[in-house]
Amino acid sequence: MKKKIIILGSTGSIGSTTYELIKKNKHIFQIKLLSTNKNIKKLINQAIEMNVKNLIITDQKTYISAVKKYKNRNFNFYNTFQIIDNLFKPKEIYYAMISLSGLSGLMPTLKTIKYCKNIGIVNKESLVCAWNLIKIKLKYFKTNFIPIDSEHFSIYSILKNDKSSGIKKLYLTASGGPFLNSHIKTISNASVSQVTKHPNWKMGKKISVDSCTMMNKVFEVIEAKNIFDLKYKDIKILTHPNSYVHAIIKFKNNTVKFLAHEPYMTIPISQSLKIEEKNIKLFSEDINLKILNNLNLKKVDLKKFPLVKILEKIPQNNSLFETALVTINDFFVEKFLKKKISYKKLIKSVEYHVNSKVFTKFKNIPVRKLEDIVKLTHYVHLKLNKLSI
């Protein structure tokens, strides 16, 4: 019997990579549900190729258009993730990939846990803002969680094979984005195309901006703290322009281990799916000695990447402040991508509002339910719209 698969966000970068791996191994897997926001053309092509009947389209106009256009095809179109409750039985799904972006991915993340044996999550916002809610669900439904981001998958892989020694220090690597070796003055007014031109990874515009500002690394530190139950003081960031080593762990017994691989998300995704190497055949057999002999690991230049200093202000215990942080960053990144503010203004705006009393008060308020996060997101947007006028 084939293993049943769900891919939420199947038309995005991670979702597409997951889909292609499943397609190449369709003798093992069967996709039961795909979703997109607006990329209906790609979604339909995927559904036809793999004979997928259940399709979720979250954008209302695109959904209505698809229902009319494909009314004579054998598809079941839905406009909400709530339908998952009606489609599956608990533990029916072998593996679910949650590759949705933004806080809109939180509800489907929490909902899907009940129905799958294994879940891969790349939705940073969920892991940053609602880890305590996710952890409760994972434990209650006995669902195996696999972090997919290359950094966290590396930590997960190292610890899976070494459970005897506690972590003394954890180092996450960051490429430094397109401006790692640029002078501060030259990047203040960088264009959208310059900021989103990542040297190693092919990503969407939003995550490319976060990589450039290194805010994505701030989120990844929060994720690592949450997932592996660490202290912020024990997690450091190192720039590593080749993106070959993804995480380094120094254990309490003073041994050091790291995991390295080419900057292709196919590697952690295929391993999370337990696809055998013979069914991938994508990479060379040799290790990259040129990179290993010159890892070029360095401490982060905080003058060039000032948003990393935000980590000093985040409370150890999970709070609603992380939701405020994510929402503030999203708000100003969107303004930058729409060319309403400069790159310098983006950095300064995030810095200012993250440290303002309007939002720091949420450091003392724990996350108790999904509605808390949803309400705060709306509140932050309203405040920022008024304060940014």
pLDDT tens-place values along the chain, 389 residues long: 899 999 999 999 899 999 999 999 999 999 999 999 999 999 999 999 999 999 999 999 999 999 999 988 999 999 999 999 999 999 999 999 999 988 889 999 999 999 999 999 998 889 999 999 999 999 999 999 999 999 999 999 999 866 667 899 999 999 888 888 888 878 888 888 888 887 776 777 888 899 999 999 999 999 999 999 999 999 999 999 988 999 999 999 999 999 998 888 899 999 999 887 655 655 556 788 888 888 899 999 999 999 999 999 999 999 999 999 999 999 999 999 999 999 999 999 999 999 999 999 999 999 999 999 999 999 999 999 987 65
Q: Walk across the sheet containing 76-78 and list its strands.
A: 76-78, 54-57, 29-36, 3-8, 93-98, 116-121, 144-147
Question: Does residue 169 share a domain with residue 102?
Answer: no
Count how many domains the chain has.
3
Overall pTM surpassing 0.75 (yes/no): yes
User: Is the same domain home to 159 and 292?
Assistant: yes
CATH code for the domain of 109 = 3.40.50.720
Question: Cα angle at 19 between 13 and 22, to 5 degrees?
Answer: 145
Please check whether residues 205 and 236 belong to one and the same domain.
Answer: yes
Distance CA 156, CA 152 (A): 6
Length in residues, the chain: 389
Residue 276 lies in a domain: no
Sign, CA dihedral 271-274-276-282, equals negative
113 and 80, same domain (yes or no): yes
The amino acid at residue 50 is M
Helices (H), the chain: 13-24, 40-50, 60-69, 84-87, 106-112, 124-129, 131-141, 150-160, 184-187, 192-195, 205-213, 215-227, 266-272, 289-292, 321-337, 343-354, 357-360, 370-387
Let me know if residue 138 belongs to a domain: yes
Q: Is residue 367 part of a domain?
A: yes
**Which residue range(s) make up the domain with 219?**
149-268+282-310
Bridge-based pairing state of the strands 298-299 and 235-239: antiparallel
Residue 173 phi, psi (nearest 5): -95, 150
